[in-house]
Amino acid sequence: VDPLVVANWKMNGSEQLLQAVVQQVDGLAEATSATVVLALPAAYLSLTKAFDNTQIEWAGQNVHWLTSGAYTGEVSATMLAELGVGWCLVGHSERRQHCAETDDMVLAKTKACLELGIRPIVCVGENLQERQAGKALEVVSRQLLVVLKDIPSALAPLIVVAYEPVWAIGTGEEASPEIAQEVHEALKHAARSEVKALELRVLYGGSVNEDNVKTLMSMPDVDGVLVGGASLEALGFRRICEQVAGSV
Ligand code: PGA
């Protein structure tokens, strides 16, 4: 499978940045085997129609589990699908932390995406305390299995998982390639125990930058990266995409 680079802008960016990033990475996605996905703030997703002629793919950063209703400020999977958005982050640790998203909400959001043919990027990751207590594998496996246990197994191949250790997000301290490999391998193993023969794609996220991406991608079970801070600079992000594309 082709490697995947997902940019997570979080609550950052501008129309101008969108133009600049598209300009940098467009030809690249066409010329290489890597898939480039930009997860934009909801406010910018409607602008992506102007880039229909590119190979870049689009993601929401969050979605509600219902299709419509009295939920001020929320965005439904129906709306994302209407805009031609093919992917959506689900259960990012910032949402689990600051917006009290539970495993059950993550499951419901994943289901809402799958019903509309939107590919969920389910984010999992342990915090520092859990890692120090030796519970990392247990935590991430639980977060993944809550989702896999309750969706039709025929749809499981549409799910991509992002392993994002909370202690590595925005800290400049990425997980070592060995840690990433160990966790990715464990996630794939857990996935197969639930859905036989599932070839789960697992991305690594947390302080990925142009200096560490190559080593991370060299690990056998790192299938791509989810890039936060370093995706906000167009040229730097292009260099990350180039290295991911070159890693195959
Ligand atoms: P970071 O964020 O690359 O800035 O650490 C990654 C993420 O939270 O998706």
Q: Whose CA is nearest to atom 1 of ligand 1?
A: 228
Mutate to test the pocket of ligand 1, among 90, 160, 167, 227 (most ligand atoms within 8 A of CB): 227
pLDDT single digits (tens) 84-135? 999 999 999 999 999 999 999 999 999 999 999 999 999 999 999 999 999 9
C-beta 174 within 6 A of ligand 1 = no
Residues present in the chain in total: 248
CA 188 to ligand 1 centroid distance, Å? 22
Residues forming beta bridges with residue 203, ordered by sequence position: 162
Q: Any idea which residues carry the catalytic annotation?
A: 92, 164
CB of 170 sitting under 6 A from ligand 1: yes
- Provide the sign of the torsion angle of the four alpha carbons 79, 81, 83, 88, taken in this order: positive
What residue type is assigned to position 90 of the chain?
A: V
What's the mean pLDDT when you consider all of the chain? Answer: 96
Mean pLDDT of 18-44: 91
Asked whether residue 44 carries a pLDDT value surpassing 60, the answer given is: yes
pLDDT at position 248 over 60: no
Q: Per residue, what are the HEC states of 87-153? A: EEEECCHHHHHHCCCCHHHHHHHHHHHHHCCCEEEEEECCCHHHHHCCCHHHHHHHHHHHHHCCCCH
Split at pLDDT 50, 70, 90, the class of 29 is low
- How does pLDDT run across 187-245, given as a tens digit for each residue? 999 999 999 999 999 999 999 999 999 999 999 999 999 999 999 999 999 999 999 99
* Nearest CA residue ID for atom 2, ligand 1: 228
What are the Cα distances from residue 50, in Å, to 53, 92, 104, 228? Answer: 8, 27, 36, 23
pLDDT of 32 over the 90 cut: no
